[in-house]
Copies of this chain bind each other. A is one copy, B any other.
Amino acid sequence: MNKKDKKAGNDAETGSGLPETDANLLDKKFSRRDMLRLTGASGLGLLLGGSGVGGILAARQASGPAVPAIAPVQAAAADTIPFYGIHQAGIITPAQNFLCFASFDLTTTKISDVRKLLEAWTTAAAALTAGTLIGSMNDNPNLPPTDTGEADGLTPSKCTLTFGAGPALFDGRFGLAGKRPVSFTDLPAFTGDSLEPQWCGGDLCVQACADDLQVAFHAIRNLARIARGTAVLRWTQEGFQRSGSADPSGGTPRNLLGFKDGTGNPDVTSDAEMRKIVWSGSTDGPAWMNGGTYLALRRVRFRIEVWDRSSLSDQEATFGRHRQSGAPIGARDEFAKLNLEAADASGRPVIPPDSHSALAHGDGSVQMLRRSYSYSSGMDLKTGQLDAGLVFISFQKDLMKQFVSIQQRLSRNDRLNEYMVHTGSAVFACFPGVREGGYIGEMLLG
């Protein structure tokens, strides 16, 4: 994550364009049980919200005699990312520690079923991101429990659920072909791709992120359960970054090649940058994507054992950056500008032109917002090597002009290609945010 990301609160996602204030939204979302749980006490009548979510929360009065107490809920507030807003959460939200990504195939052919699914997912997602169960732990004992229960007692953990539609949704099945955004198709083949169908595509996606893996898993599991009869899981992929023990200075996380990943990301606190890079605007495509964005996911397996045998100088030349500091080669500050013109005494570029940083940067005119996670999926039984790498995820308003143009450059010449292979690929049109009372994808399906 970029240094700048640390400044990013939730304001950018909920502050403008909403009839509800943040305080109202949160008030509606928090059940009494949550309030009591989060404050660790019962009978509290009033809670103060942290500035991070903007304002004072007036919690519902607990039953029984009111206790005139005031408790700070910085922790609770910091632990919840609002679900409703003009944009979906989980996009410009600073990356949580864990990812559970799920791709679904629809088994229905009726658009009304798809609509019902997205309505049900909306209701569930509002509860799941607020840290409440879907139903209670003690439903009718003669029926299967509404909620699978493994997240009972856990806090919201900054859970976000981000929903999208794959290009496949716009084939003939649902009468949506005319609504497909012009350049929204499966990605072209890139040089060196070694894609396996089991990690590609899907009609719908859910990106669950949370600071607690059990919370993210619980969300995907329950959404899959709700989908039964309408959609089935096509593939899932989990990811992580350093978690509880992040260094006190909060630096950029390292990927499994030992290098910092995300240094050059755009500033998520800048509305102007996000409108330029991430959010689809009113003149950018179909109205149903106004406020949405496009997600590109690549499952990138690292050739860990080969990398681990390469020298430090090779590794640094491959990234174009110093390993320890993350600074561009020749610089000391991680966030120093990439100086691709700098040359050494013999006239050779200080930063190799085929290094990952140099190629990804190009002339600097094309950017995207990266939000990747490391993954570790045990051993590859065929080779006895670790199956580990990167769940690359980026968000951009135009897949062709942003992700595809950069990836074409990288796939042909990136030095890093020697140490990795792309095994999975998918793109999704992530819907605009949803307002309370509405449902995800309403502008497309309504």
Instruction: Flag the segment in A250-258, A340-348, A409-417, A435-443 that touches B.
Output: A250-258
Known: A149-B254, A379-B233. A324 touches B245 (CB 8 A): no
Instruction: Kindly report which residue of chain B lies nearest to residue A254, judged by CB atoms.
Output: B150
List A residues 238-258 near B (Cβ within 8 Å).
238, 240-249, 251, 254-258
B142:A245 contact, CB within 8 angstroms:
no
Minimum CB–CB distance from A127 to chain B (whole Å) comes to 16
B311 touches A233 (CB 8 A): no
Q: What's the Cα separation between A215 and B253 when bound, in Å? A: 12
A238 to B240, CA, bound (A): 12
Partner of A312, one of B141, B156, B304, B312: B141
Binds B, one of A7-15, A24-32, A351-359, A370-378: A370-378
Chain A interfacial residues counted at CB < 8 A: 79
Q: Are A150 and B212 in contact (CB under 8 A)?
A: no
Pair A311/B143 contact, Cβ less than 8 Å: yes
Which residue of chain B has the shortest Cβ distance to A136 in the bound complex?
B324
Given contacts A244-B243, A324-B137, contact A379 B214 (CB under 8 A): no
Does A273 have its Cβ within 8 Å of any Cβ on chain B?
A: no
Main secondary structure of the interface of A (DSSP, over half): loop
Q: A157 touches which one: B217, B245, B312 (CB < 8 A)?
A: B245
Q: How far is B381's CA from A256's CA once the two chains are assembled, in angstroms?
A: 26
- 17 additional A-B pairs beyond A148-B256, A233-B386, A236-B378, beta carbons within 8 Å, are A97-B243, A100-B376, A138-B312, A140-B312, A141-B311, A143-B311, A144-B310, A149-B323, A155-B247, A157-B245, A212-B243, A213-B240, A233-B384, A235-B379, A237-B378, A238-B376, A243-B243
Interfacial residues, chain A to chain B (CB-CB below 8 A): 37, 40, 79, 97, 100, 137-145, 147-157, 198, 210-215, 217, 221, 224-225, 232-233, 235-238, 240-249, 251, 254-259, 304, 308-313, 315-316, 323-324, 374, 376-379, 381, 384, 386, 388
For the complex of A and B, the 10 pairs showing the least CB-CB separation, nearest first, are: A149-B258, A153-B247, A137-B324, A141-B313, A157-B245, A155-B245, A212-B245, A214-B242, A211-B244, A141-B312
